[in-house]
Amino acid sequence: MIRRWLRKGLAMLLKLLFIGRRRKFAAINIITGHAQHIGEREQQQDTFYISTQQDSEMIKQPDVLAILADGMGGMAMGREAGELAVQTMLNEYRKRSAEETVPQALERALHRANQTVFELALDHDLEWNVGTTLIAAVIQEEQLYWISAGDSRIYLYKNSELVQLTRDHNYGNRLDEYVASGTLAREEAEMHQDRHLLTSYLGIPEITEISANQAPIHLSAGDWILLCSDGIYEELSELLLEEAATRGPAEAAEFILQHVLAQQNPYQDNATIVILACCE
């Protein structure tokens, strides 16, 4: 009886060890790529950061982190605002403790980044005249978390389908609500001159409009996460991604950028794309 119990216990232990090893073997790896161009602007005001699983600065936190900020060109100090936002976001996220969830850390870091950009404006007597969008994505093991303020975008490309995860924070959302309530015609809403004005961004006293996911998105090998400034995403399509995905993420990012530049838009904005590709 004792021997049979021991054999059963040993078999169960070996099974648990095998499952643990199998899960470790099946865990995804992340390969990154990026591309950037100044467009037809006088200054590059997009800033980005990408960590990798081997990033020495992220040893204490083995998450893969990507951040992108688009300094607002219609305001003052767009480049400085974007750079400060990204650096602050990075520094604050690195402080995440074991007790703090990824969504909590992202939101705390975003609010701190907003505070530093707002203080930058105050230091230069430019209150309400300095701003930047900010998006960030974290992959922890096989789970995706993200956060956004502004109109830069994060997409998930999965099973040949391109899905926008973020919501553009602009006045167009309010106009669409007026259309839904019957107080504004659809044509008027679509042609409204203020439709693309941002209603949320970093550089204001307090951000109340933030998009983020609390429940993680499960990732599998073959999935791509794309972070884009608005100089890129107007040209994104599933057809373009289908062709880009035949390349590695670094080459794919450059391929997408060159497609955008080939449109020869005379008002081409700064263009930045970051790709996080999941592989076995």
- Six-digit token string for 249: 């993420």
Cα–Cα distance for residue pair 259/257, rounded to 1 Å: 5
pLDDT > 90: what percent of the chain? 74
Q: What is the mean pLDDT of the chain?
A: 88
Q: What is the pTM of this model?
A: 0.87
Q: For position 59, what pLDDT does the model report?
A: 45
pLDDT band at residue 14 using 50, 70 and 90 as cut-offs: very low
State mean pLDDT over 98-106.
95
End-to-end CA distance of the chain: 44
Short-list 39, 25, 23, 91, CA closest to 234: 39
3-state secondary structure of 122: helix
256 burial type by CB count under 10 A (0-12 exposed, 13-18 middle, 19+ buried): buried
pLDDT digit string (tens) for 254-273? 999 999 999 999 999 999 99
For tokens 């004005």, what's the residue?
197
Domains of the chain: 2-279 (3.60.40.10)
Inter-residue contact 163 to 91 (CB < 8 Å): no
Cα–Cα distance for residue pair 178/150, rounded to 1 Å: 21
Cα–Cα distance for residue pair 49/33, rounded to 1 Å: 11
pLDDT digit string (tens) for 114-169? 999 999 999 999 999 999 999 999 999 899 999 999 999 999 999 999 999 999 99
- Nearest-5° Cα angle at 146, 108 to 98: 50
Inter-residue contact 145 to 138 (CB < 8 Å): yes
pLDDT digit string (tens) for 183-206? 988 998 889 988 889 999 999 999
Cα torsion 252, 256, 257, 261 to 10°: value is: 150
List, in order, residues 6 or more apart from 205 with CB less than 8 Å away.
118
